[in-house]
Amino acid sequence: MSDDPKDAAPKDSGDETPIQRALRLKKAAIDAKPKPPRGGKFQREQAAAMTTGVSKPWMKR
């Protein structure tokens, strides 16, 4: 590992615009949130929970 400053991601440097800083902070917040488990029994249960037409009441008779 080198101590070259080019290798490090910009934290609060003057090169970063306010929009870039906001986007970086937003992505960090999204990545920090816990994610639901993927695959297996959980995914099958989630897929089976939503039946056709539940979200479209105008499609029912």
Mean pLDDT of the chain: 75
Mean pLDDT of 30-49: 78
pTM of the model: 0.39
With a cut of 60, say whether residue 37 has pLDDT above it. Answer: yes
With a cut of 60, say whether residue 41 has pLDDT above it. Answer: yes
- Hey, what's the torsion of the CAs at 8, 1, 29, 45, to 10 degrees? 140
